[in-house]
Amino acid sequence: MAPITTGHYLGLSAALLLIGVAGVLTRRSIVVVLMSIELILNAVNINLIAFSSNSQNVRGQIFAMFIIADAVAEAAVGLGILIALFRNKDTVLADEVDLLKW
Amino acid sequence: MNLLDIVICTPLVGFLLTLFIPRSKPQWVRVFTLTVSVIAFVLSVGLATGFNSGSSNLQFVTDFIWNASPEIHYHVALDGISLWLVILSTLLTPIAILISWRSIDNRVKEFFGLLLLLEFGLVGVFAAFDLFLFYIFWEVSLVPMYFLIGIWGHDRRIYAAVKFFLYTMAGSVLMLAGIIFIYNRTGTFNYSSILDMLGSGRLSFTTGEEMFLFLAFFLAFAIKVPLFPLHTWLPDAHVEAPTAGSLMLASVMLKMGTYGLVRFCLPMFPGAARECAPWIIVLAIIGIIYGALVALVQPNMKKLVAYSSVSHLGFVVLGIFSFTQMGLDGAVYQMLNHGISTGALFIVVGFLYTRRHSLEIKDYGGVATVAPWLSTVFLITTLASIGLPTLNNFVGEFLVLQGSAQANFKWTIFASLGVILSACYMLWLYQRVFFGETPEGVRHHMPDLNLREWVAIVPLIILMAWMGTAPQTFLPPVSSATAHLLEQSKMNVPLRVHAAPAPPVIVAAEASHAR
Amino acid sequence: MLDVFFFYAFAALVLGGALLTVTLRNTVHCAISLIASLSGVAGIFLLQKAEFLFAVQIIVYVGGVMVLFLFVIMLVNLDTAARDRQFNRQWIAAVACVLAIGAEGVYFVRSGSGAWTFAAPSEFALSAGNTEDIARMLFSEYLVPFEIASVLLLVAVVGSVLMARREA
Amino acid sequence: MPANMAPSSAEILRFLPEIILAVMGTFIMVLDPLVRGKSPKIFGHISILAMLAAIGASIFAYTNPGPAFSGMLMVDGFATFFRVLVLGVGILAVLSSYRFLDRERADTGEYHALILFSLVGQCVMVTANELIMIFIGLEISSIATYVLAGYLRDDKRANEAALKYFLLGSFATAFLLYGVAIIYGITGTTNLSAIRAVLSNTTTAPAGAVVGAAVALMFVGLAFKVSGAPFQIWAPDVYQGAPTPVTAFMSAGPKAAAFAVFLRIFMTAFETVGTGWEPLVWVSALLSMTIGNFAALVQQNIKRMLAYSSIAHAGYVLVALAARSEIGTAAAMFYLAAYAMMNVGAFAVVAHLSGKGERRLSLNDFAGLGVKQPLTAALLTIFLLSFIGVPLTGGFFGKFYIFKAALQSNLVWLTVLGLLNSAVAAYYYLRILVVMYMHEPGEATLAVEPLSFGLSAALILPAIGTFVLGIFPSALLQFADKSSIFGR
Amino acid sequence: MPTTAAETYFPVLVQALLAIVIAAALVSLSFLLGRKVKNSVKDMPYECGIVPTGDARHRFSVKFYLVGMLFILFDIEAIFLYPWAVVYKELKMFGFFEMFTFILLVVAGFFYIWKKGVLDWSHNDPSALRSPAGRVEMRDHHPEEILVAMKR
């Protein structure tokens, strides 16, 4: 088997990005959309770590740390918003959120 | 700060002060704005007396840098053309205030304030010698007129106001593109510097650029004139506007278009102007005849006068694009004439409206028997509008036709049709309104002119006679300015264009088809 | 050799988990697939000698974020949703977007390594202690982002409390 | 090594505005549960003081410009301009929310704390010279704004707005990050100046396709944030659903900050690959203007109409970016300042008129405002004329500078189409004027309460600003011109 | 000396695999070998366990979410603390102030949460979600029921 290069990691990341984007665009459940966004962020992190180890500097890893911190903050606020919406609307399907024209 | 600056600023200061008059004192507003506008008029007469009519130089020049980056000059000045148009604006504003004295009774403060703001914009447009400043005044004059039509107009006022605004706006943004283009090329908005650069060859456009720029400016002006087929906003705006609005619109604002053609299109883009002249003249002649024919069948007095404006302004455009001294003189003179006589027509129609509250011709008849003075005034105005010798329009039309005949005789023939038709529709209107059976509604609601109305109309009638009998009072400054203008517009023009007289209309059309 | 095996094993875990996440009907199952996928990502980190990030990934994502997701799923009781249509009607947009990104990917794969020029390795190689490396740089050069990250956390605290808590 | 990394006092001074905002935001947050319900107005006062102090600190920091914290931040004219701009927007937003919060019985410290935190993020964004820093600033600002959009938790429209904003916003962030990651991979750095150095060195420059992919991804992310087409779909819903003072805030502040980031990244780091991204911006600018203006034509809801208009205005700023020149940058800066004022002003009027529960938002609810409240109507008229681009208003000079820059860069078609667009736009702004002045007062205007002090301030200050920018534009433009080189 | 990460962590992997195999073996063996009795008593809680009430799918209180959220936010704080602790000695006082500022802000957040009463579980759950689809029916389990089940 061919040795694993940075390119392999980038391919993996691109595939993950693809799946994430597809998930965001097609799923109706808001929670799953949020999960898909997490997938994209992880694709970014795979990229960053691969680049970091390729160029032998640690900036990419620090960047990834901040991205994880941000993902947490986003998830916390996003789920909070979801709960607030659910209280009033009883739906967690993206296309039933339609009081305003979508 | 010279007299011209004072004339420009007076209405603006008046407008700002009007804002502080309490809403509960409408009479104060009327008196104050009338005073301000009369002061502005008197000062502007001072401009005429101080004007050296033999010189083609700019006079009353004020030029300082208003904004450093990009360099925008506050550059105002007068030449023979702008002089009379400025005075026309200042003359008609107090008259507009007088005729609205009683007929406007809601939101009085706003109405009269906006009239002053309009005056500020109009005077500025005619005095500005910086492209940017010109554009600013151009747009500033647009806003008050929009409100005048939209708030105090008749039933379909909103439609008319929005249409008016959008037509003008669409044209003027293209002009703005042209102005920016010139600025990027020259680094200045100062019109005198641009002309100097063009004259000395430091600035030149390729044929394509010149055509683009000419069309950008021309479209803005042609909409304002309005040239057939861009005239459709005009009847709506005129019919729906209050009398004062129609007056200012017809008498002064339409002149912004023709003034722009004379002032900017000819000297800056002479080549393209001559290239397009045959086409423009065809449109102008279509406008003359079309306007007259449509006026003939109008049941509504204001609409009739509005279409007559389309017809009359066709003459002005014809004169401008004949590229002859006489044609240009006549065109400028005709701008003033149209301002006076059509203004007077709108005023008199307004008098009828305040009495009978109808603009439909069929609601009138036999007015001459109940209001003889009103009928007389209307008759004089009608005759002036037709172009009866010794009244003002005759001089202008004559010059235009003579000028166009110098360039191409066929144009004159077609245009003369317009003169004949104008006699038809105006006299027929007069006959239907003032003679014949007197309906009940007219008999009881048709008092004769009161003092205020006399004061409003008499200056215009005097001017009609004065301009018709003694054109030498007014023409010399105009002639020296137009001569200079023709001189300028010959620069940078390839010989073939200005040496040969422009080809006959039909031949030109065929030739370009062949191309 | 072992490296290659592990890479493909983890990659399969990552992509398999991700695919299940976006296709499964039951949201709880989606969440569990997501955990699998994220664990795979953690493994990928480990392969690249980013041990610290590996730990963070496990602690924060698998231990934290996923718990949160599960709480919310239970909180809003998504079973009813699971019985409905699963995908929305944005198929065209989704397909277009995926195709665009996919085409880009194919382009890069076909043009091979020539399309990629990576930054040259920096002058100093990473030392054995991954965490120390990160720490040194984080607390010197990345001082401001670090401090400002606390504001990010505060925003998250205020925001989520404000959104989720019901006023008494 | 790390021990002597302690920042110098000059560096801390350059970071002072953010410190003030963060500390005061935290203070308000902690104060809220302590004084809850007793004197709710105090939070607003504190936050206004904090923002004024931060403006002072920004100007003071500019007396000693330069980089700070190992090149993370770059305090230059550009940064100072946008710092003051976003802080100004913040002040106006808070001024216009006093009455609103009171009316909705929602005057809490959290609201003001979130505004201050969001401003911290925006100030960091506009000052940052480093992609990680920009990212964190962007996220602080965005997350705070998501929450603010859903601030009225019991309002379904606000819930929806927050959720949509959140989903699409974080989706966009993910795209942006993917682009940033690739840029990091091919250049080995996240510092903008260093990226520029790598990209402009022809011998070591990475392959164009990769750079292109990264730039395109970042463009998508940023275009989402500035609501440029075709990534504008969130804007109308979010602007309509969010509480009006928040809409005023987020359509001006975070947007201006996102544009600042846009300009800084694309005009410094990616300037050397400009021919590559210009078509992207060109298309996006044209689409934004056209979609924004034509969609606004048919709107009945005033907030939705202003939302579409804000998309169109983003298009104008993108025209300036497409010019790819320093005067283009300066024009964009000027435009954003003018836009911020008229937009906050217009939304403040909407907030004033809409009434409790924001029920009166239809265009017809403006009927007769010119009679009932001439001052409010006159101020709104000024903002609308500025939107149209009538001379002597800031909006006019903004458009003028932008199209001048575009023509100078030979974008003739974009200029002509843009100007025609602005003529189309006149129509829907005129509709508001028509209703306001030419219709008889309706139920809504008869019920409207008198202007409160805070609202009058939030209306009169931008009106003055609009006129100042329209009559003496060169003072601000010269500063923008000087700053458009990003302290290089 | 191992060269790649995979080799470094090979022992760990072996251990993990071993753990999985043993656990799986124990569970499957008892499943295969054990005697299966299926009745409702088997489904009851063992000995002193609490009798379950209601549906397993019934809604959680929002408090769980809030606490969970706080947990991961402080988790993030912890992941920053860990590398800091590693190089604390190198950083000296500067490092102390660095982390002090960070923690101060996060503690301010904690104070806010505390004062907001998010951590206060004693009240009668004011933050419970109102059930949109109607209350989930609570079933009482009477002792007789259990006896009946046992007899079967």
Q: Give domain limits for chain A.
A: 7-93
Q: Which amino acid is at C81?
A: A
Question: Residue A24 contacts by C-beta under 8 Å, 6 or more apart in sequence?
Answer: A33, A36, A37, A40, D167, D171
Q: Does the distance separating the beta carbons of D407 and B180 come in below 8 Å?
A: yes
Same domain, C7 and C56: yes
Residue E55, pLDDT score: 60
Judged against a pLDDT cut of 50, whether residue E152 lies above it is answered with no
Q: Does the distance separating the beta carbons of E60 and C71 come in below 8 Å?
A: yes
Ordered per-residue pLDDT tens for chain C, 168 residues? 677 888 888 889 999 999 998 888 888 888 889 999 999 999 899 888 888 888 899 888 888 888 888 888 777 765 554 455 555 656 666 677 777 777 766 766 665 555 556 666 555 555 556 788 888 888 888 888 988 999 999 999 999 888 887 654
Same domain, C79 and C158: no
Same domain, C76 and C137: no
Residue D239, pLDDT score: 92
Same domain, C71 and C13: yes
Same domain, C135 and C79: no
Number of domains in chain D: 1
Mean pLDDT of D30-51: 86
Closest CA to B277 of B458, B411, B427: B411
Q: Does E133 touch chain A (CB under 8 A)?
A: yes
CA distance D37 to chain E (A): 13
Helix (H, G, I), strand (E, B) or coil at B257: helix
The answer to whether the beta carbons of residues D344 and D96 sit under 8 Å apart is: yes
Q: Does A96 touch chain D (CB under 8 A)?
A: no
Q: List the chains bordering chain E where 3 or more Cβ pairs fall under 8 Å.
A: A, C, D
pLDDT band for position E58 (50/70/90)?
A: low
Contacts of E78 in chain C (CB under 8 A): 59
Q: Does the distance separating the beta carbons of D181 and A47 come in below 8 Å?
A: yes
Nearest to D2 among E87, E112, E115 (CB): E87
Q: Does the distance separating the beta carbons of B166 and D438 come in below 8 Å?
A: no
Number of domains in chain C: 2
Q: Does the distance separating the beta carbons of E127 and C139 come in below 8 Å?
A: no
- A7-93: CATH class: mainly alpha
CATH of the domain at C48: 1.20.120.1200
pLDDT in tens, B471-495: 888 888 888 888 888 877 764 444 3
Residue of A nearest to C7 (CA): A4
Residue of A nearest to C132 (CA): A58
Instruction: Tell me which residue range forms the domain holding D35.
Output: 7-482
Judged against a pLDDT cut of 50, whether residue B508 lies above it is answered with no
pLDDT in tens, B241-293: 888 888 888 888 888 889 998 888 888 888 888 888 888 888 888 888 888 88
Domain assignment present for D488: no
Judged against a pLDDT cut of 60, whether residue E132 lies above it is answered with no
Closest CA to A52 of D72, E86, C134: C134
pLDDT in tens, D354-390: 877 777 888 888 888 888 888 888 899 999 999 988 8
Kindly write down the DSSP assignment for every residue of D240-276, as one continuous string.
HHS-HHHHHHHHHHHHHHHHHHHHHIIIIITGGGHHH
Residue D115 CA to residue D243 CA, distance in Å, equals 13
Residue of C nearest to A4 (CA): C4
pLDDT band for position D40 (50/70/90)?
A: confident
pLDDT in tens, B203-229: 788 888 888 888 889 988 988 888 888
How many C-beta neighbours within 10 Å does residue A101 have? 9
Tokens 């600056």 correspond to B5
Residue B359 CA to residue B429 CA, distance in Å, equals 12
Closest CA to B398 of B460, B477, B318, B304: B318
Judged against a pLDDT cut of 50, whether residue E138 lies above it is answered with no
Residue C78 CA to residue C80 CA, distance in Å, equals 5
Residue B471 CA to residue B478 CA, distance in Å, equals 11
Note the maximum CA span of chain E: 73
pLDDT in tens, B379-398: 888 888 888 888 888 888 88
DSSP code for D324: -
B102-106, D188-192, E115-119, range with greatest mean pLDDT: D188-192
Q: Does E130 touch chain A (CB under 8 A)?
A: yes
- % of chain D exceeding 70 in pLDDT: 98
Contacts of B178 in chain D (CB under 8 A): none
Residue A31 CA to residue C24 CA, distance in Å, equals 12
Residue B51, pLDDT score: 82
The answer to whether the beta carbons of residues C61 and C38 sit under 8 Å apart is: yes
pLDDT band for position B201 (50/70/90)?
A: confident
Size of interface A-C (CB pairs under 8 A): 246
Provide the chain A residues 11-40 that lie in CB contact (below 8 A) with chain D.
Answer: 17, 20, 24, 30, 33-34, 37, 40
Q: Does the distance separating the beta carbons of E87 and C154 come in below 8 Å?
A: no
Q: Does A44 touch chain C (CB under 8 A)?
A: no
Q: Does D147 touch chain C (CB under 8 A)?
A: yes
Q: Does C9 touch chain A (CB under 8 A)?
A: no
Mean pLDDT of B36-41: 89
Q: Does the distance separating the beta carbons of B157 and D420 come in below 8 Å?
A: no
Closest CA to B508 of B275, B306, B317, B203: B275
pLDDT in tens, D235-264: 998 999 899 999 999 999 999 999 999 999
Token pair belonging to B277? 């002249």
Closest CA to D262 of D212, D211, D319, D346: D319
Judged against a pLDDT cut of 70, whether residue D2 lies above it is answered with no
Judged against a pLDDT cut of 50, whether residue D123 lies above it is answered with yes
Q: Does the distance separating the beta carbons of B140 and D392 come in below 8 Å?
A: yes
Provide the chain D residues 363-402 that lie in CB contact (below 8 A) with chain C.
Answer: none
Instruction: Tell me which residue range forms the domain holding C133.
Output: 125-168
Nearest to A81 among D136, D166, D181 (CB): D166
Same domain, C77 and C146: no
Where is average pLDDT lowest: B76-90, C64-78, D169-183? C64-78
Instruction: At D90, give phi and psi (nearest 5°).
Output: -60, -45
Residue of D nearest to A44 (CA): D178
Among B23, B66, B69, pick the best mutation site for testing chain D contact (most D Cβ within 10 A): B69
Domain assignment present for D2: no
Helix (H, G, I), strand (E, B) or coil at D320: helix
Q: How many helices (H) and strands (E) does chain B have?
A: 24, 2
